[in-house]
A and B are shown apart, each in its own frame.
Chain A
Amino acid sequence: MKIVFNKFVFIFVIFLFASSTYAVNKDEFHIHDPWIREAPPVAKVLAAYMVIGNHSDKPFTITTIISPMFKKVEIHESKIEDGIAKMQQIPELVIDPQQDLALSPGGNHLMLFEPNKILKHGDLVPLKFILSSGDSFSANAKVKKMVGSMKSMSDKKDGKKDGNEHEHRHDH
């Protein structure tokens, strides 16, 4: 019995060691300019956009995103097919090694369900990204009012940044 226990501890220690060697370094995973489009106060869903950078040599898979300010967060893809706006949930986001993945209006985005308060321009919304490796990262997305700014959404698609600072944390 004692031998079996020791074996178990040994395997467990090996497992811990193995998982720690595969942990994602915080310098390897970046969330750039995360933002949420301010929506009408009655809106039940919002969308978040950002650029996710993978600065490592292995792919990252984001499986889950959570936010204390929303009932649920899903990864969605919008596309226009034969003039029809279609949207579907996608189970995970894979960011290839040394690549950036853009979530932008009219394309991939995070669909944020049922905010627990009305979000206004300038508010910061914590988002937690959980990877298939078990690692998680946090970033604060800034709520931006796009209406009335005379700023076309096409500017956003071109990846223009407005220099907003965002908090970026690595959680274990």
Chain B
Amino acid sequence: MTANSSFFKNNRTFIAFAVSAIIGFFLWRVYDVQIKDPIDRIMLDQPQSITPFSLIGSNNKPFTNEQLKGKWTFLFFGYTSCPDVCPTTLTEMATLSELLSHSNDLNQIQFIFISVDPDRDTPDHLKNFIAYFNESFVAATGTIEQLNTLTDQLSVQHRRLKEQGDEYLVEHSAELLLFSPESTLLARFSAPHHADKISKLFSQLIKGYTVTK
């Protein structure tokens, strides 16, 4: 008992510091998870400029940084032999396009799907595939080296898994990326994607963007 009392007396400052640190850490976690504005969770601290890249579009024309300029761009990486996550996300993107059309000029917003499976996803195949989700959606691909020029700077991962016969799966980042009309990366939406949530966040984001521009 005496030993305990002297411990607390001698280490009062340390204990006060430790208790504050624990409370502080707890409040920070609660803030981060519960209170922090969802928009702050998706936004990058600073818009990220994109260095030149060169892919091939589903129209068989070059697809470069130029295609990101002048429009808000939602970009998703995937592949067409993906039966679940990719069509689920592209369906959400189609719903998002419809939702955004209510209060935005869709000529100012574009939706892009980049295949990280160039061996199977030729530009012609991509063209037929993407049109199903929305006629205005754009697709592109490139050699693995060309793709890496873009994905490395976006911290987007993609990896072809071991083949089973003539089939193989591809692992890929499932985030939906948002670029500004100045072709800078602004926000990353993590999966699973919900069109209604993204639509609300986007509306909030572009209001703030016009003010700070």
Residues of A within 8 A of B (CB): 37, 39-47, 76, 78, 80, 83-89, 105-106, 109, 111-113, 146-148, 150-154, 157
Contacts and interface: CB of A to CB of B under 8 A. Distances in A.
A157 B193 CA distance: 12
Given A39-B132, A83-B174, A148-B98, 16 more contacts: A39-B87, A40-B128, A41-B128, A42-B129, A47-B84, A76-B83, A76-B84, A85-B82, A85-B173, A89-B164, A105-B84, A147-B133, A150-B98, A153-B91, A154-B192, A157-B192
B98 A45 contact: no
B95 interface: yes
A84 B171 contact: yes
5 contacts: A40-B128, A47-B87, A85-B174, A111-B83, A152-B195
Contacts of A43: 80, 83, 87, 129
Contacts of A40: 80, 128-133
B85 A152 contact: no
B83 A106 contact: no
Contacts of B160: none
A85 B191 contact: yes
Interface string B105-129: 0000000000000000000010011
Contact of B191 (A39, A47, A83, A111): A83
Closest 10 pairs (CB-CB, A-B): A40-B132, A85-B174, A47-B83, A45-B83, A85-B85, A42-B128, A105-B88, A78-B84, A40-B129, A147-B94
B129 A106 contact: no
Contacts of B71: none
A95 to B, nearest CB: 20
B196 A152 contact: yes
Contact of A84 (B82, B87, B172): B172
Contacts of B157: 84
